[in-house]
């Protein structure tokens, strides 16, 4: 049977664009549907604008440290609208780059939503198109929990659109996005309250790392309400009134805005017409095998809509492996072990491999040895500022293999990226020890721990 396209991709986020371009390089005729901006969450309302805001927030520490290095005290004011406009301009520039990349790859872009009519047919806007293979790469969207007054809240996407900096911000949840925004907004001058249902932020990360970041956030002045639950949110003249149930009773928190940045995201699969195909879902996510294939032979999915590891580089790699396998005759399988990641909290987290808790659960506590180093980086000595870095290695004693590496502190993401190569290759603690240190640096601690 003849089709309009060899491959049609739904969603022009990181994974979808990567797959579309790679398949086109192999000679496939590719169509791509995207009703929103190119680049998906990462470029438009995620990694890129968030990291730019983190850079802006870090200047406050630089100003504070400057007199310790002989500079006169720095008095500066912050212009929120300028930052928001500058970030938006950079996002727009990146959108243009993605458009040119698609044009150069000869991928046909449809600026419309796409939904399934049947297994090979899509309704794209008002037009029906057919494809031999269809790849779903629609990402996720912020969750809105069922709380009275939830309509008065902002999602993580909305924070980048605020025209004025909130004087008082309440953040719901202890996930990594919310913790990142808590640090940024606090450093930029907002009064931040973060409400979490458990006793600790960042569930799923190494427990010691979580505690280190939480302590630092609280010492910086972020008000963390642990073991607490939001009961209702009301609009009032001064902003919003958040009623919170705590361990000690009910409490009202008044703020200019409430953000849902930290309560999670879910696969964005609702309006795809999947019921017309028989594609199976698992807890709202598209169920796929090791080759990103669904239970329908010609339909595939990558990225956050599959809810495997929801990271931009993972989606990109999944998309490229999909194209290599089905259009380049280079079959491969995505490896989900030892995927490094960073959390741009203040202080920053970098991590790869097993947490201490995971390693002990799998191998037994007696088989695991943890090496750690906690110190004040050299940068903070002359200004005499209290800032700590924590590094740890989780080692399997019978084999000496490093199972996990974790860090809290300045440049954690940059440092862990290199360490991740060693962990991925199965390096031993002896090999770490045999590596000559770069002195003076924070990174040298990873090869000098005893």
The set of catalytic residues is: 439
CB count in 10 Å sphere of residue 157 = 17
Phi-psi domain of 40 (left: phi exceeds 0; alpha: psi -120 through 50; beta: other): left
Say how far apart CA 229 and CA 250 lie, in whole Å. Answer: 10
Strand pairing category for 285-286 and 121-124: unpaired
Please check whether residue 330 is in contact with residue 324, taking contact to mean a CB–CB distance below 8 angstroms: yes
The three-class DSSP label of residue 49 is helix
Contact between 316 and 301 under an 8 Å Cβ cutoff? The reply is no
Distance set, CA 40 to CA 10, 30, 108 (Å): 12, 18, 17
Which residues pair with residue 9 across a beta bridge? 32, 135
User: What is the spatial distance between Cα 3 and Cα 233, in angstroms, rounded to a whole number?
Assistant: 51
What are 213's two structure tokens? Answer: 């970041």
Instruction: Compute the distance between CA of residue 289 and CA of residue 266 in angstroms, rounded to an integer.
Output: 19
């Amino acid at each position: 049977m003849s089709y309009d396209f060899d491959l049609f991709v739904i969603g022009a986020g990181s994974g979808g664009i990567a797959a579309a371009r790679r398949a086109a390089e192999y000679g496939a005729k590719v169509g791509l549907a995207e009703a929103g901006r190119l680049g998906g969450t990462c470029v438009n309302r995620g990694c890129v604008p968030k990291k730019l805001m983190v850079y802006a927030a870090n200047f406050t520490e630089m100003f504070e440290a400057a007199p310790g290095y002989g500079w006169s005290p720095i008095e500066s004011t912050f212009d929120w609208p300028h930052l928001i406009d500058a970030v938006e301009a950079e996002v727009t520039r990146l959108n243009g780059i993605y458009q040119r990349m698609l044009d150069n790859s000869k991928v046909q872009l449809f600026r419309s939503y796409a939904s399934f009519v049947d297994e090979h047919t899509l309704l794209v806007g008002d037009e029906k198109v057919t494809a031999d293979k269809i790849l779903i790469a629609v990402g996720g969207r912020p969750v809105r929990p069922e709380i009275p007054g939830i309509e008065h809240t902002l999602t993580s996407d909305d924070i980048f659109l605020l025209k004025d900096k909130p004087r008082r911000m309440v953040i719901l949840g202890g996930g990594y996005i919310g913790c990142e925004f808590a640090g940024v907004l606090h450093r930029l001058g907002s009064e931040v309250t973060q409400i979490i249902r458990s006793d600790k932020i960042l569930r799923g990360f190494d427990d010691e790392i979580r505690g280190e970041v939480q302590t630092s956030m609280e010492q910086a002045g972020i008000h963390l309400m642990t073991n607490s639950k939001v009961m209702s949110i009301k609009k009032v003249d001064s902003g919003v009134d958040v009623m919170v149930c705590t361990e000690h009773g009910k409490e009202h928190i008044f703020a200019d805005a409430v953000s849902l940045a930290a309560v999670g995201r879910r696969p964005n699969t609702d309006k795809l017409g999947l019921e017309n195909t028989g594609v199976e879902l698992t807890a709202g996510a598209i169920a796929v095998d090791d080759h990103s294939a669904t239970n329908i032979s010609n339909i595939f999915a990558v990225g956050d809509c599959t809810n495997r590891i929801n990271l931009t580089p993972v989606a990109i790699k999944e998309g490229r492996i999909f194209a290599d396998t089905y259009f380049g005759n280079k079959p491969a399988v995505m490896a989900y072990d030892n995927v490094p990641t960073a959390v741009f909290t203040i202080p920053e987290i970098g991590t790869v491999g097993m947490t201490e808790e995971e390693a002990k659960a799998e191998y037994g506590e007696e088989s695991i040895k943890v090496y750690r180093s906690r110190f004040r980086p050299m940068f903070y000595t002359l200004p005499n500022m209290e800032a700590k870095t924590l590094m740890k290695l989780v080692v399997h004693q019978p084999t000496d293999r490093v199972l996990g590496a974790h860090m809290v502190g300045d440049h954690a993401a940059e440092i862990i990226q290199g360490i991740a190569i060693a962990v991925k290759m199965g390096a031993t603690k002896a090999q770490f020890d045999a590596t000559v240190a770069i002195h003076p640096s924070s990174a040298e601690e990873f090869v000098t721990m005893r």
